[in-house]
Amino acid sequence: MPRGMYDQTYRIDGTTQSVSYDASTATSNAVGAQTYAVRVAVTTDCHVAFGAAPTATTSNPFMPAGSVEYFRVTPGQKLAFIKNSAAGSAYVTECTR
């Protein structure tokens, strides 16, 4: 059986980045070398993408306003955000094992 995100314990002890997004992609800094998960909180409806140099589009996964989600990441990855209808902010907090 594959291991899921919730099969492991992560500590919210890394840095938090604030990313302001609008009609064009806004990208976070790369997460740390020991970061394998992030907690993302958003203020408005938006879309999120992950990768070495991600570009968010409205076809990427949707996050509703006020939501908080945990995502598994690879050390060094970045997150990109784009608004759905209104500009907002995303807060990306690094989590470690």
In the chain, domain spans: 9-96
pLDDT value at residue 12: 75
CATH of domain 9-96: 2.60.120
Which are the contacts of 45, defined by CB distance < 8 A and separation ≥ 6? 62, 63, 64, 65, 83, 84, 85, 86, 88
The residue ranking higher by pLDDT, 1 or 64, is 64
Q: Which two tokens stand for residue 37?
A: 């998960």
pLDDT value at residue 1: 38
